[in-house]
Chain A
Amino acid sequence: MREFIQETNAQFRRWMIHLKREPFSLAFNLLNPIILLIFMGGAFQGLARNSVGEDYRSYLLPGILALTAFGNSMGGGIPLLFDRENGFLLRLMSAPISRSSILVSRFLAVNLSTMLQCLLILVLGILFGVRIATGIGGVAALLGTGLLLGFGITAISLMLAFVLHNHGDFFAIMGITALPLTFLSSAFVPLETLPAWMRLLARINPMTYAIDAMRSLILTGWDAPRLLWTVAVLLVFDAAMLWLGARVLSRQLA
């Protein structure tokens, strides 16, 4: 156990150094969310007045948080794929370490980064006039919800890092999933206003659950039954993805 902590900590420190010295990768993920929050939040204000009320940006913020969490988690496996491509991972795996330390350290690093990015988006939202109905406790709950969404997506991403053959494929998958999945959720508009086929897909999208819970935290206040339901749904999603990831990776990393 002491050895597991030592090797996991070493790898985690490496990812933290990357985060600190490579801020551009953070900006890369935050770019779309920030643009959407500022410009879409402003541009659709008039249009949205009759459906969601006076403050579209507050309505939009949960969707942006979910998009941020999704994007960062989905890209979380990419550094591992680079490590695979350039021989770093092979060298690491020739060392007497537990294979799971590779995944655990990356998982922790990705989700810490997701939390920081969501916090940044929240602060930006507050600067643009969003008021959070549940106050400072609500901020913690919002970050927690973002993380619960991120866990399962990170598991998918770590799995992809070992299944895909090159990082080009990975970027392609990220590119074609992030925005469509955000549109196929309640991120931008109320679920009821979506066409039926989109509504159906949105209902099986875990982002929808995270967004609805976050929206209630920002707009209305503490809604315990809804929050518990959301936590339950997201935990089931996370558990399923972690189980699937563990199955695939136990073969890949044998």
Chain B
Amino acid sequence: MSAPVVRIENLKKSYGSVVALDGISLEVERGRIFGLLGPNGAGKTTTVKILITLVRPDGGRVEVAGTDVFKDPAKARNLIGYVPQELTTDPYLTAREHLRYYADIYHLPSAIRESRMQEALALVGLAGLEDRRARDLSGGTKKKLDLACGLLHRPPVILLDEPSLGLDVQVRRDVWNYILRLKEQGTTVFLCTNYMDEAERLCDEVAIIDRGKIVALGSPATLRSRLGGDVVSVEIASANDHDGESLDSLDKTVSQLSIVQRSVKDGTRLKIYVESNEAAVPKILEAAAAAGISVHSITYSRPGLDDVFLHYAGRAFSEGGRNGA
């Protein structure tokens, strides 16, 4: 394990009598995609504003790449590329002019400016659209331009606030691929989201935040497995005359598999509790085939991060938090 590139210790912030952050602590390892997941008002925005040095916490420490954000905010600002959830493109500027703007804002020397701009355009797939004004670009393309502007200075940490908010499916997929490419290049991504599927799809580690507290921390798989893992449900082919026997023998067969936690007969189905269905389903099918049992259907239900949220926060994710934090 390398040294954490983002380290947050016991961070506290109140606005008047409203507690926005009630002592959160977390660490993000270099080269990971870290997700801060929570409903609106949970404290995500406050955390973001503290990370980008624009809000001072009441207590606690924040370090980015070894720099204390409040002792040396100027240095910390160079270490983070922040892409806000709102579109921040300027309708009157072309894509190229946006990149030139941020290249100068981040003080890139002219010798490397052009190559960095080309690189950023290529990464988000904007090559060929350089000279279009932002007002003539689609919402999704504007988002990609926004993202491109955030990585010109190659910060060790990219902070993405709700990167796929309001995007259509195709653009959302593009943005996800872009985030995965950033990770491949060794950049650490700090992602704030209130989309469960986004966190599950992208994040190596997730902190679930609710009412200013981190209620769960771990990889999406770990968090889910704490709830008992996935449930694989197998139905034996109905043409089989010896349903009961087959089910018994299937039960016996799968219970010998190391990935199976336990199994329960449920009518004509066998419910098999496993840590993760991806690994389990092929193994179960293999074992069934080896035992000569023909499977009619196999389904699985996966406890999602919304179940995890439900478990730790004691209420459904969609019920939300309070407003304003």
Contacts and interface: CB of A to CB of B under 8 A. Distances in A.
B217 to A, nearest CB: 25
Given A86-B88, A94-B80, A7 B54 contact: no
Interface of A: 3, 6-7, 9-11, 13-14, 17-18, 21-22, 86-88, 90-97
A17 B88 contact: no
Given A94-B52, A94-B54, A17 B105 contact: no
B82 interface: yes
Contacts of B52: 90, 93-94
Q: Return the 3 tightest CB-CB contacts between A and B, nearest first.
A: A10-B104, A87-B86, A94-B52
Interface in B101-118: 101-107
B92 A18 contact: yes
Interface residues of B, number: 28
Q: Which of B88, B103, B133 has the most CB of A within 10 A?
A: B88
Contact of B88 (A7, A9, A91, A97): A91
Interface of B: 52-54, 74-75, 77-78, 80, 82-88, 90, 92-93, 97, 100-107, 133
B107 A96 contact: yes
Contacts of A17: 92-93, 97
Nearest to A97: B105
Nearest to A87: B86
A82 to B, nearest CB: 10
28 contacts: A3-B107, A6-B107, A7-B104, A7-B105, A7-B107, A10-B103, A11-B105, A13-B97, A17-B92, A17-B93, A18-B92, A21-B92, A86-B87, A87-B85, A87-B86, A87-B87, A88-B90, A90-B52, A90-B54, A91-B82, A91-B83, A92-B105, A94-B52, A94-B53, A94-B82, A95-B106, A96-B74, A96-B107
A87 B162 CA distance: 13
B274 to A, nearest CB: 44
Nearest to A92: B105
A97 B73 CA distance: 11
A6 B133 CA distance: 23
Nearest to A2: B107
Nearest to B89: A88
A96 B92 contact: no
